[in-house]
Amino acid sequence: MPGPRIALLLDALDEAFARSSWHGTNLRGSVRGLTARQAAARPARGRHNIWELTVHAAYWKYAAWRRLTGGERGSFSLPGSNWFPSPSPVTEAAWKGAVDLLVKEHGRLRQAVAALPASALSKVTKGGRETNVRLIRGMAAHDLYHAGQIQLVKRLV
């Protein structure tokens, strides 16, 4: 059972990602029920679509996991980093794969946070400049930021 500080961070991650909360749609909820075509639609030329936002969020969950665990750099499921183009042609199977990747990376991040001793929270992350606690809080904020962005993009396309 995690200590109270770790439990609070896990609560923040869970609310931002998939648990019901007062603030509105979380990240998992923002992509639930979308078709591949909807996820690939661009709000404007040169702007990110929901698909790209989803994989971007998965990538940063991976990056945070890697910093917390010392995981190998370059071990993300897709080649590249940060922003990944949506595939062409667009298929439902590929969209499901993108959402599954997001869910998988959230689970790995959550496990890494749950395994942290409270004493590690004030340490600077491996490969980063932030403390572990700040990285974890930032990941919850990152999820909420992109959840709101996805909700907006859904209304624009």
Per residue in 28-46, pLDDT (tens digit) is: 999 999 999 999 999 999 9
What pLDDT, on the 0 to 100 scale, is given for residue 53?
98
Q: What is the model's pLDDT at position 135?
A: 97
Write out pLDDT tens, residues 92-146: 999 999 999 999 999 999 999 999 999 999 999 877 799 999 999 999 999 999 9
Give the count of alpha carbons within 13 A of 66, CB side only: 15
In 3D, which of 57, 137, 150 has the Cα closest to residue 99? Answer: 57
Residue pair 64/13 in contact by the 8 Å Cβ criterion: no
Tell whether the model's pLDDT for residue 1 goes beyond 80.
no
Q: What is the pLDDT of residue 20?
A: 87
pLDDT at 85: 92
Cα-flanking dihedrals φ and ψ of residue 151, to 5°?
-60, -40
Convert the chain into a string of H (helix), E (strand) and C (coil). CCCHHHHHHHHHHHHHHCCCCCCCCCHHHHHCCCCHHHHHCCCCCCCCCHHHHHHHHHHHHHHHHHHHHCCCCCCCCCCCCCCCCCCCCCCHHHHHHHHHHHHHHHHHHHHHHHHCCHHHCCCECCCCCCEHHHHHHHHHHHHHHHHHHHHHHHHHC
Q: Who contacts 111 (Cβ-Cβ below 8 Å, separation ≥6)? A: none
Domains in the chain, please, with CATH?
4-156 (1.20.120.450)
At how many degrees (to 10) do helices 4-17 and 132-156 cross? 10
Check whether 65 has a pLDDT greater than 90: yes
